[in-house]
Structure 1
């Protein structure tokens, strides 16, 4: 009998789009096996099939030599397959204790007992945590835990469910260096006990450090499986990228002027360390980094959405106060297009017109009365500038496509006439056509001598749009690249930990 979990010829289509094309993947018991690939390679789709999130696919799955069927999360668990998602908070109930969260699924499925045996629950939870080498109190509420402790709870939950194979999806993305070391210690304990671990990560140095083997996917296809002891980060990057890809969009040349934004030694406890960079008039400055590198925290810190920020920020020579509310930074000429636009960038239930003028509302009021005529005029002009496609400016933003929602999120800062615009993953969930229009908008902004900070993990976009690129890793800027120096290979290398400190 073979002690392995194997996926053979897995194919998955979403309409006419083929996400996976005859992919093979095998993980052995007692092995830590990395699943790698650039964005859109098919990693998430493959793992969703394995954990039962997708029930329609072609191909076969085998466990210990025998074919198994997986068409639901419950069925995956019955075969000893568990997953710890990146968003740990979503999978936990904060008001319940560590023990309750650990045995949650087991207790819910145990319908034969009318009463809760707390002694048994605490014992089971303690045994699971002890296998991880954790001294976490089982009576502590989850709301009071750190991120790494929450991950321990989820892994302990998987142990209670008697998993043979555990999927860890970007587990170190939100963790500090010490928390990452703690997680690796837990993973090694699981490996010793015979659990097979599938490790999904963009941090290639970590993959080399902790994993036994790695498998690379590219564009929905299997590329190769390698032993980490016989490969290097450079080789992995070559496998992930294949032949050099062509830049699909290149920013038009714009004359660069005086310095607009100067950031020096910006720090946020546990998240950012000694960040320094500058942006000039007419310049797009890229911030490259993977999930958890600190890009979002940097943008939020500059816009007043994080507290306990230290350092120095100057805008057009004026020193800005730190840890103020966003309206202070808006008034100074700074704006943010956030990654989570539906949560933080727009009001989905309000009209296009109201969304566009909201940050500048004082300009459209007269003794507390709204100047509806001026609002309509400005909204119509701005929707034309940013190319919002809608039936009317009174249409609810929530009914627009992702690309048009993003245009509204950008358009409101055209109304405020900001000097520097911070873009955090601006093309997330946006179609190809809208991406091009967003790039054109950015070119238009810098042609007006605005400054743009473009933070993303989409490296091809940076190669096309940015004049200079700063690379972030673990909350620090580890490299600066000019437009001539920057390549996909270099960005992958540095963002994966090729340079530290």
Structure 2
């Protein structure tokens, strides 16, 4: 359907961007309409981030044309973008943690007033507070937040402050890159309401997310990219999840969050009466061979803390862990590895891999005994051979096993971590947010690798903030609330409503 020119806010025509040896964007064209939420979707490497950085002024385009309100513009830097009304909220937090919301909003562009006959200037803190207050009242009434360091406010309010910061420069287009990455389920719903509020005020939002459920909740249209090229723009009411995924990956992908039926064997892990003072209380769980068991809960409920306590990363007050019926003394992650437990953490870049080491070094680091000779000399040929086998088996996209991990995509970094733990020959694998920040194609591959592990008799304990992921993969789901397991659901019993009722404490 044709759209009047005065309804098109931003128009991109034939945008091209090259890096050494890579054509990152190849003749990309699409429009952003006034007061709409346009989802920008595609796998990692599709060109979304490059396009965002061009609109934000962080990169210069090599070809093509950008129009804003019908006029051709040249965005040379971030100040140019802001003058044109384009503001970006990146996935990684950009707020200075120890400054207040007001100080963050006006950092580098403080309001000043002349003193002593204009010879000196001082910051007008009252004016900056007043302007921040007017914007913040659109979202929250708790104005005392404005006087507190933002690191005391939590993930949701930090995201809102970044939105307020974007609006403070009179943005007409706000780009949001994975804005819900650090938010719990109920916080996401609050953020969605705020985004709808922006839309009602006539602000356009370019929304980037790997969470397809979010796109169908929020977006008016979805712009699909693949391999640096524009594929199509579709109305959300005229497409489906399967069709969208097919456009993103270039092939048909259906039922990508469905666990296959696997025969369940003997009990492989049992945790009994595990507690940590002030954090966890009387945790009891078990996993059998061939089972995927989930833990659901809101942020701060104790999901990650449960995994860390079991593997010895955090101290416990009481409790026992048994593998195949045999009680194990696990006081450190090294003890957990020896017992047969592998742990893929939520923050892969900080706790899962060493970014400056190679693929082969990362894969073998948790089980060096197998690649070190009796004289304690590293057998590099052996290490490379093992890494090559895992790269082929897990389809890790890397030019060589000597490539530094920091140059791999998020999905391939996750595969390297999985290869590291598979190399230890574990009996149980713990996954904490295994698909956070990776694209649909990589998610499908991670799910397949999890399925392969349990098919061979392994057990999996899975923490995820994505309820459809938990419900699609898990045989059973434990629900946590304030450091306790408050409910266990079978696969047939689990619904989003039931899980959220218990996760939010509604059962009490």
TM-score (normalised: structure 2): 0.66
Question: Aligned to 1:459, which of 426, 431, 443?
Answer: 443
Question: Aligned to 1:326, which of 333, 336, 343?
Answer: 333
Partner of 2:49: 44
Change (3 A) 1:152 1:336: same
Partner of 1:376: 376
In structure 1, distance between residues paired with 2:194 and 2:465: 21
Partner of 1:120: 127
What is the CA-CA distance between 1:162 and the residue it aligns to? Answer: 1.0
In structure 1, distance between residues paired with 2:204 and 2:77: 20
Change (3 A) 1:342 1:185: closer
What is the CA-CA distance between 1:224 and the residue it aligns to? Answer: 1.6
Question: Aligned to 2:74, which of 69, 81, 95?
Answer: 69
In structure 2, distance between residues paired with 1:310 and 1:78: 58
Change (3 A) 1:48 1:475: same
1:9-59 Cα offsets, whole Å, 9 max, x none, are 112222232222211222122111111122322211211111122114321
Aligned length: 426
Q: Are 1:427 and 2:426 matched, yes or no? A: no
What is the CA-CA distance between 1:190 and the residue it aligns to? Answer: 1.4
Partner of 1:415: none
Question: Aligned to 1:479, which of 464, 469, 472?
Answer: 472
The answer (yes or no) to whether the contact 1:284–1:451 under 8 Å persists in 2 is: no
> Which moves more between the two structures, 449-458 or 233-242?
449-458
In structure 2, distance between residues paired with 1:40 and 1:330: 34
The answer (yes or no) to whether the contact 1:352–1:379 under 8 Å persists in 2 is: no
In structure 1, distance between residues paired with 2:374 and 2:418: 26
What are the residue-to-residue correspondences of 1:230-379 with 2, within 5 Å? Answer: 230-244=238-252, 260-261=268-269, 278=287, 280=289, 300=308, 302-305=310-313, 314-318=322-326, 325-336=332-343, 343-344=350-351, 376-377=376-377
What is the CA-CA distance between 1:275 and the residue it aligns to? Answer: 11
The answer (yes or no) to whether the contact 2:46–2:229 under 8 Å persists in 1 is: yes
Partner of 1:55: 60
What is the CA-CA distance between 1:244 and the residue it aligns to? Answer: 3.4
In structure 1, distance between residues paired with 2:359 and 2:26: 41
In structure 1, distance between residues paired with 2:98 and 2:218: 33
Change (3 A) 1:474 1:20: same
Question: Aligned to 2:106, which of 103, 127, 138?
Answer: 103
Partner of 2:386: 386
What is the CA-CA distance between 1:232 and the residue it aligns to? Answer: 2.9
In structure 2, distance between residues paired with 1:121 and 1:141: 16
In structure 1, distance between residues paired with 2:132 and 2:355: 42
What is the CA-CA distance between 1:318 and the residue it aligns to? Answer: 3.6
Where does structure 2 lack aligned partners over 5 or more consecutive residues? 254-262, 389-398, 476-494, 500-508
What is the CA-CA distance between 1:135 and the residue it aligns to? Answer: 3.2
Q: Are 1:93 and 2:96 matched, yes or no? A: yes
What is the CA-CA distance between 1:157 and the residue it aligns to? Answer: 0.7
In structure 2, distance between residues paired with 1:438 and 1:127: 48
The answer (yes or no) to whether the contact 1:266–1:311 under 8 Å persists in 2 is: yes
Partner of 2:483: none
Question: Aligned to 1:140, which of 140, 148, 160?
Answer: 148
TM-score (normalised: structure 1): 0.67
What is the CA-CA distance between 1:75 and the residue it aligns to? Answer: 1.8
In structure 2, distance between residues paired with 1:373 and 1:459: 37
In structure 2, distance between residues paired with 1:191 and 1:139: 28
Where does structure 1 lack aligned partners over 5 or more consecutive residues? 246-254, 364-371, 389-400, 408-423, 483-497
In structure 2, distance between residues paired with 1:275 and 1:38: 38
Question: Aligned to 1:185, which of 193, 218, 238?
Answer: 193
Partner of 1:2: 6
> Which moves more between the two structures, 209-218 or 326-335?
326-335
